Structure 1
């Protein structure tokens, strides 16, 4: 199988450890272990009481019963048995796509967005058509264009809610239209929901609460600020879950006892995490809005309740060379938009710690005006 390098991952792997001011990441300001232990209001005793009883063996292969139950609570009517623990959202997408796609299948994938959602099906031998989203629409998908792309033999539709890196949210109404189109040709719908909106969540609905042939992928990495756990999941019907059970034995076996316990503890205390993270989203978004109002070389469509965002840059050079020069000369890290097939821009990790965001934006402005004015 020939598979392309994931542009954003390769860039971060090469350069993130050189950063002095990292405003490139998509997680909501990662929690420290000390902050995590304060979530239960008992100094973490509920976490360690559980962990201290556990043997450090393989643990629950598919995820503990407690983990599955906590994940199931995030949805309206999900059987915990159909929740499968995965190695982050990345592993969840890999296993779901491998379970669904065979050579010669027809796949429609939202584009541009998180690269594996369209490149993985292609690497597996599928014919992939891009459902292109447009900046002039506020990065909202055009349902009529999806209708034109879907065929009687379409096997899978891949979408991202919210979009990485654009931060665009698909509402329940739009999702219902997508489901109607998928149902008309009996296609599956995979929705990567690792950036499911924390703000006004009542306006969005998970694909698995709308469609029996829907599969969602998620993790504790983004909305829950614990990427260190490397703990994600899939939710689907039993038919697909059984296919993925087989694949998991080849791709991961298990996430590990500690990771399972950590993810379960975080999900059990998710209301405190969400309260903290909503405050970061709202505070930092206003910081960027104020900065954008005074910065003529940058613009964005403000994200709605999610931690990932994209900004256009009015610069006379390509974004890759600009971001590398910016990092070398100032220590500010941005991911070039071209790594998402979105040239002349950058992914802005606006949910970085507030001090980092403010200094990073100020340094970015000074650098652009020094170089180009």
Structure 2
């Protein structure tokens, strides 16, 4: 099996630890365990007691009952048997794709988006058609193009909602149209849903709440600010979930006893986490908008209060070369658009701490002045 290099991950693996001002990430400023428990000391003592009494065996293979119950609360009508714990959303995406795709299958993938969603099916021998997002249409794809791409044998449609790197959220009405097209040929719809619009969480609709053949993947890495515990999940109908179980045994055993305990607590206190993160997102988004308004060499279709954004750079060199020079000369890290097949653009993670964002943007502007 051959597979392309994972563009964004290989870039970050090589450069993120050398950055002084990292404004490349799509996580909302990561939390510490102390911060999570800061206002709940009694909970912290109870958590430590439970942890201290827990045997460090494999624990609950698919995720504990308490974890599954908390995940179910994120959806309208999901049962615990439909939830499988995974190693982040990357593990959830891989599990779904590995379980479903066979050589010769036809897959339609939103493009550009998270690279897993098209290069894994391609590596498994599927025929991939790209459903392009359009900057002129606020990074939305055209529903008529999906109608042209769909085939009687289409196996799967892959979406990233909200999109990485643009932050564009596909709304309920648009997703309904996708479901109608998928249902017409019996295709599955896989949606990576790690980015939640924190200005209005009710505006988000999960694919499993819309479609009987919808597959939702998610994790605690982005909107929950805990990428370090590597806990995600996949939710699908009962038949699919049973199929996923078989393949899951070949890819992972468990998420770990400690990780499951902490993940359950985070989900139980998700409103506390979201309130904290909402302040960061809305505050930093205003900083980003003000900066873009004042920076003549940058434009942006702004995200809907999700933690990733995609800026367009008016520069005479490739964004890959630009971002590398920027890092080495100023310590500011972006992800060049080439890593998402979007040359001329860059992913700017504006949901870091405020000081890092402000300094990073100031240094980025200063660096851009050489092209005036």
Q: Same fold (TM over 0.5)?
A: yes
- The alpha carbon displacement at 1:245 in A equals 0.8
- The alpha carbon displacement at 1:140 in A equals 1.2
In the alignment, the residues of structure 2 paired with residue 79 and residue 37 of structure 1 have an alpha-carbon distance, to the nearest angstrom, of 29
Contact 1:99–1:240 under 8 Å retained in 2:
no
Report how many residues are paired.
372
Other-structure match for 1:368: 368
Question: Can you list the C-alpha shifts for 1:10-66, whole angstroms capped at 9, x where unaligned?
Answer: 000000000000000000000012102226463622422322221111111100111
Gap regions ≥5 residues in structure 2: none
Other-structure match for 1:336: 336
In the alignment, the residues of structure 2 paired with residue 173 and residue 117 of structure 1 have an alpha-carbon distance, to the nearest angstrom, of 23
The 3-state SS of whatever aligns with 1:114 is coil
In the alignment, the residues of structure 1 paired with residue 48 and residue 184 of structure 2 have an alpha-carbon distance, to the nearest angstrom, of 50
In the alignment, the residues of structure 1 paired with residue 138 and residue 41 of structure 2 have an alpha-carbon distance, to the nearest angstrom, of 41
Other-structure match for 1:309: 309
Question: Can you list the C-alpha shifts for 1:142-168, whole angstroms capped at 9, x where unaligned?
Answer: 111111100111000000100000000
Question: Can you list the C-alpha shifts for 1:257-298, whole angstroms capped at 9, x where unaligned?
Answer: 111111111111100000011111100000011111110011
- The alpha carbon displacement at 1:105 in A equals 0.4
- The alpha carbon displacement at 1:116 in A equals 0.6
* Map 1:120-269 → 2, pairs under 5 A: 120-269=120-269
Residue range with higher mean Cα deviation, 44-53 or 338-347:
44-53
Contact 1:206–1:216 under 8 Å retained in 2:
yes
Other-structure match for 1:51: 51
In the alignment, the residues of structure 2 paired with residue 305 and residue 47 of structure 1 have an alpha-carbon distance, to the nearest angstrom, of 32
- The alpha carbon displacement at 1:198 in A equals 2.3
In the alignment, the residues of structure 1 paired with residue 98 and residue 40 of structure 2 have an alpha-carbon distance, to the nearest angstrom, of 38
- The alpha carbon displacement at 1:202 in A equals 2.1
Where do 4+ consecutive residues of structure 1 move more than 4 Å?
A: none
Structure 1 residues 152 and 314: alpha-carbon distance in aligned structure 2, compared to 1, 3 A threshold: same
Other-structure match for 1:42: 42
Contact 1:303–1:309 under 8 Å retained in 2:
yes
Other-structure match for 1:19: 19
In the alignment, the residues of structure 2 paired with residue 231 and residue 324 of structure 1 have an alpha-carbon distance, to the nearest angstrom, of 31
In the alignment, the residues of structure 2 paired with residue 129 and residue 50 of structure 1 have an alpha-carbon distance, to the nearest angstrom, of 49
**RMSD of equivalent CA atoms:** 1.0
1:3 and 2:37 equivalent? no
Question: Can you list the C-alpha shifts for 1:318-355, whole angstroms capped at 9, x where unaligned?
Answer: 01111111110110000001100000111000001000
Other-structure match for 1:93: 93
Question: Can you list the C-alpha shifts for 1:216-245, whole angstroms capped at 9, x where unaligned?
Answer: 000000000000010000000111111111
In the alignment, the residues of structure 2 paired with residue 196 and residue 178 of structure 1 have an alpha-carbon distance, to the nearest angstrom, of 20
Other-structure match for 2:83: 83
In the alignment, the residues of structure 2 paired with residue 65 and residue 43 of structure 1 have an alpha-carbon distance, to the nearest angstrom, of 19
Contact 1:166–1:309 under 8 Å retained in 2:
yes
The 3-state SS of whatever aligns with 1:251 is coil
Contact 1:40–1:46 under 8 Å retained in 2:
no
The 3-state SS of whatever aligns with 1:250 is coil
In the alignment, the residues of structure 1 paired with residue 203 and residue 326 of structure 2 have an alpha-carbon distance, to the nearest angstrom, of 38
